[in-house]
Amino acid sequence: MTSFALSERQAQDIRFSKAKLYLVQNQESKAMALFKKILSGPFHYDAEIFLARYFYEQKVFTKSFRLYQHILKEQFNKAIVNHPYSHKNRSKFDTVLKKINRPSPRTLSTIFELAEKYFEAYTFRYLPEEFQKSILNLSQKYFHISDFFNIHPATTKFYLSKIYLIRKDNNGAIQKLKETQEAFTKAPDRAMEMGLKEEDIKVHLAEAFAKEGFEDSSTLILLGLRSRENLSQQNRHYVSNYLKQLRKTFVRTTFSYMIKSKGNINQLGSEDYENFDQLENQNDLGKKDSLAHSGRFHLYYHRRIDDNKDFSLNGTYQKETPLSSNVEKPASDQYTLDANFKFHSTDNRFWSLSYQYSGLSGRELDTLINFQAKSKHTFSASHIWVDHLSKWILTVPLEKRTTQTNRSTTSLATSLEYIPYIRMSWLNPSIYGSLGRRSEGEELESSFFFQLGAENTYNIKDIVLWSLGADYYLNSNSSQLINYSEFSLSNNFRYALKDYPGFVVDGEVLWRNRSNDIVGSIQTFDLGVGITYSF
């Protein structure tokens, strides 16, 4: 039995040698006849991998990929080869891979080779359009296996990051590129032998940062690369073009409509709210709780003046009207205009100068009239430190405010915001604090104010973006009239309608408690749901 197996193996070897010779002599028909015999006999790795590569070079891609798949079924694991892999279930795929023994070095080399060829076929569209999606999926699958078994770690992770970018999973791409950098640092010579350069990683990291909205971090990387004398011509061209793309003028217009359930719509103090039925002005107030329409228009303009300077302009108009015709006081019109000029100074730092105007009309509530702003002008200077993807923002705002009693105030503060880069699906926080002094006019002493807040966003299965915020504000003054504290909780969610591009379903929950010795505790609880359209 052993003798027969050995002789059959020898026969396969002889056929393989003759087939290769026929190909050298351009006798393809004879060579293919021999390969056909080889394929019908016992598995012969050298012959099948040779033929798979030959078909690929001859651009007979379907036959090539079938042979690669057959090789892996024979020498790897048929169940893994047939596994219905997808980007979304890749974590479950790891569970499957943990159950199998580590493949041989030759098998892992074949897996990596096939992954590369699938990616090349996708990139250059070697097969018809209807196969593109499955080809990319197969490439990712086999790179995933290579990554799991730590084969060519830097190169494998780099390929996966490129696939994630194609899939618009920018955060996943950033994570893979960070892993790529770590793997490259451990074995740079091996990575460079395979054609991967450190500058390639940085170029794709800049792209991923920009696509994920971290344009400051992206710009810093691109400017750093551009200053390198030894940057390759290809990457220099890419960096130059990408910086030009970031310079493009961007205009976005948003229309929103929301219907809100407003608890304590008149923002009454606790005593007035509890004794609402006995109030003399009950008829003027209408109802304790009510529904309201809320419409909002927002215009955003951004212009990158050059590689180091940006200008942006935000304008918002929001109108809120109670549904009940006899609830008039809480109707309001709000206006906001925000202009910002930002420039890169040195290394990882930016400066920002901004002006903001906000106005509120039609909301003259008796309980809030002494400290509710009718208009505000704010001038700010900010120093921004960018550490990879984390940010520290130190801001000094100078504010001039006019209250609804026409009292003019001026304040100067210092605020600090920290935005760490964590980017877990459930943890994406920002923390901010502010401390300042406000002159309250001729008849009142100055106030000291303190603010502390935090916000976290939560991505639920790439479907719903949920945001939870908490904010505490203290205005300290010797006059009970404007001595108050306020605590608020906000809960917002956004759901993009995939079948209707540009449309988003919005929801919000806002609870607020303001405490003042004169009017008592003012609690409001608002629920809203609506739709937003952007273009």
pLDDT digits (tens, 9 = 90+) for 135-165: 999 999 999 999 999 999 999 999 999 999 9
pLDDT at 299: 94
CA quadruple 115, 116, 122, 127: dihedral sign: negative
Read off the pLDDT of residues 449-485 as tens digits, 9 standing for 90 and up.
999 999 998 877 667 888 999 999 999 999 888 899 9
Type of residue at 372: Q
Rg (CA), the chain: 32
Read off the pLDDT of residues 53-85 as tens digits, 9 standing for 90 and up.
999 999 999 999 999 999 999 988 898 999 999
Fold of 250-534: Porin (2.40.160)
Q: Where are the domains of the chain?
A: 2-246, 250-534
Read off the pLDDT of residues 197-230 as tens digits, 9 standing for 90 and up.
999 999 999 999 888 878 888 888 888 888 888 9
pLDDT at 327: 55
CATH among 3.30.390.30, 1.10.357.10, 1.25.40.10, 3.40.630.30 for 2-246: 1.25.40.10
Quickly count: other Cβ atoms within 10 Å of residue 193's Cβ.
11
pLDDT at 386: 87
How far apart CA 38 and CA 13 sit, in angstroms, is 9
- What's the whole-number mean pLDDT along residues 282-303? 87
> CA of 270: how far to CAs of 197, 438, 487, 525, in Å?
66, 27, 15, 13
The upper half-sphere exposure of residue 433, i.e. CA atoms within 13 Å in the direction of its Cβ, equals 3
Q: Is the pTM of this model over 0.85?
A: no
- Residue with more model confidence, 508 or 226: 508
